Structure 1
Amino acid sequence: MVGSCATLVTERIIQKAPQILDQQLAQLLYATVLLDCVNMAPAAGKVTPKDSQYVAVLETRFPTLPPRGALFQALQNAKFDVSGLNMEQMLLKDMKAVSGSLNVAVPVLYITLKEFLQRSDLEAELSAFCQKSGFDLLLMMTISFTESKEPIRELVVFSHSASCREQVSKYLEQAHNPALNLSPISCPHPHISAYQQGNTLASRKKLLPLVKDFLRECDGDGCLGDTEEESEVPPTPMNSLVDGCPLDEGLPRITAEDLQDKLHQMESADL
């Protein structure tokens, strides 16, 4: 376990192909590790000894790399700039997905919970996103920072299924590995449960295994089998390179006459 996958990439390059490591590649790797590990600050709970080791290696081999503080702040400002993004873009900006009894999206939102809940037409926007992307539930983690650069994490659970929302919320409230230390927050939206997260070191990387464990238990117990009817047509894949899917309008209609015509064409071709 490391704070940044770029640390593992750096390690592999240095061990297996050091000749490809030039200034540009070093800066790309260096910048990514700094951003993922919150400028190597132990208080953020991200950095590991291996992350620190390879940041130091890059700094030693390439002494002209930009100063840590300035580089991190520039990247952090860009990362948290969500001005001009609509709801779908905000959710897709940094999203993971987990599937089992439910299709669950787990985005990170770079705004405060208060700002998020004050958005007009919030539930309609979340509903439209779920319908378009085929998700049963959204589990959103907001991240912001205090003036002293300490993280503030909050959780938002959205689903039109009350049973689904309540079961996921209860599971996360009772979680111990790690304990999230969730405190419910009053929310004006009927299909949303909101929480202050006391354990600010529990990032999404530590939340995802809890979600997977919950889905695994439900797959075994069938506890969510009656929450939603399955769609007759699967949704368009999230990473599709086209705007639509051939099955968006349902399965193609094939009549007996169409089938006979096709058989005649095949027989003619054989002759």
Structure 2
Amino acid sequence: FATKEELFKWLQAEKFNPAHWGAFTLENCLQVDYKEFTFATAAGHAKKVGISAVLIDLETFVLKSKDAAALREGLTTYCKQNELAFLVVMTMFMTADEQRHRQLLFFQECGDDTKHCVVFFDKEASLPLEILKLPETHRDEHVAAFNQLNTAASRKQAAPLIQRALVEPVVKL
């Protein structure tokens, strides 16, 4: 039998194993580590937000779809199945030199909540974002992708920021 430490090391390695992630569909990736939150808005409405943690980079993730239309369809279907106002995909991956990287993807079929969140994140500055250009074949106006410059910030830090963004009065974008 493996010791507790050996088992933990094995599980950590398997969690980041690209072969596993390569075999997953877009939906599988979204389901692996998914949490839902219900946040109140400035107008007092409840918004259900899904946040998926994915352990591959965003380019690899979006390329699981044939093109931008298929990506949008897959994300829309996932949002409808889970009755979400919008979806956030938070990636975390390690480079060959053991550097940790994080990326964020916001998806909303209709509405401006995700745009409002991005503006809030930019103003608030604890989770700085840098625009990430997705492959040309997978760009869509409903998808916003970013490199997350604060690589220590996980869903535990992002979810409260999203909540704060939604309760702040919306300014015209």
- TM-score above 0.5, yes or no: yes
Structure 1 runs, 4 residues or longer, greater than 3 Å off: 70-73
Question: Letter of the aligned partner of 1:65 in structure 2?
Answer: T
Displacement, 1:103? 1.1
Question: Letter of the aligned partner of 2:161 in structure 1?
Answer: L
Structure (1/2) with the larger helix percentage: 1
Identity of aligned residues (%): 25
Residue number in structure 2 paired with 1:181: 128
Displacement, 1:87? 2.3
Asked if the contact 2:26–2:62 (Cα under 8 Å) also holds between the matched residues in 1, the reply is no
Residue number in structure 2 paired with 1:165: 114
Paired with 1:98 and 1:132, the residues of 2 have a C-alpha distance of 15
Displacement, 1:211? 1.7
Asked if the contact 2:116–2:165 (Cα under 8 Å) also holds between the matched residues in 1, the reply is no
Residue number in structure 2 paired with 1:154: 103
Unaligned stretches of 5+ in structure 1?
A: 1-23, 25-63, 225-271
Q: What are the equivalent positions in structure 2 for 1:109-258 lying under 5 Å apart?
A: 109-119=54-64, 120=66, 121-176=70-125, 179-187=126-134, 188-215=139-166, 217-218=167-168, 221=169, 223=170
Paired with 1:175 and 1:192, the residues of 2 have a C-alpha distance of 21
Asked if the contact 1:162–1:191 (Cα under 8 Å) also holds between the matched residues in 2, the reply is no
**Structure 2 residue 25 is matched with structure 1 residue 86:** yes
- Asked which structure has the greater CA Rg, the reply is 1
Displacement, 1:162? 4.7
RMSD of the alignment, in Å? Answer: 2.3
Displacement, 1:76? 2.0
Aligned residues: 154
**Residue deviations 1:151-204, cap 9 Å, x none?**
10000000012522211211122223xx11210112412210000111111111
Classify the secondary structure of the residue corresponding to 1:115.
helix
Structure possessing the higher relative contact order (Cα contacts under 8 Å, 6 or more residues apart) = 2
Question: Letter of the aligned partner of 1:96 in structure 2?
Answer: K
**Residue deviations 1:103-143, cap 9 Å, x none?**
11011011111112223221110011111110110111011
